Amino acid sequence: MLQILITMAAGVLGFVLARGFVRHRLRFVDAVQSPMAPIVAGIAAALVALPAAILPFVTLTTAIVFGVGTGAGTMSGVRAIRQATGDHRRLTP
């Protein structure tokens, strides 16, 4: 049961951190608008989390779920950036 909770927390944490990072730090970077950006971010996050699989309650599945969450968060952040750009085209007095 604890392994399932850790895996779910890793997925949610990856999603939330990636979405916030993309929305706040990468909003002016054109490369994040690429369709490959979520895939690259997800694979990179899974590879970074892979060494943690030697810990007792962290498994290979946890690293993969973290990567999927990071990729989904990146995609969600890019979508939020695209929707917000239409609102900021005019300067208001």
Domain-wise residue ranges, the chain:
36-80
Indicate the pTM of the whole model: 0.85
The distance of Cα 91 from the centroid of its chain, to the nearest Å, equals 31
Q: How far is CA 84 from CA 24, 26, 28, 58, 87, in A?
A: 12, 14, 12, 37, 5
Distant-in-sequence, close-in-space partners of 69: CB < 8 Å, separation ≥ 6: 10, 11, 12, 13, 14, 15, 18, 45
Q: What span, in angstroms and rounded, lies between the C-alpha atoms of 87 and 15?
A: 25
pLDDT tens track, the chain, 93 positions: 899 999 999 999 999 999 999 999 998 898 999 999 999 999 999 999 999 989 888 899 999 999 999 999 999 999 999 887 665 555 555
Residue-level pLDDT at 51 = 93
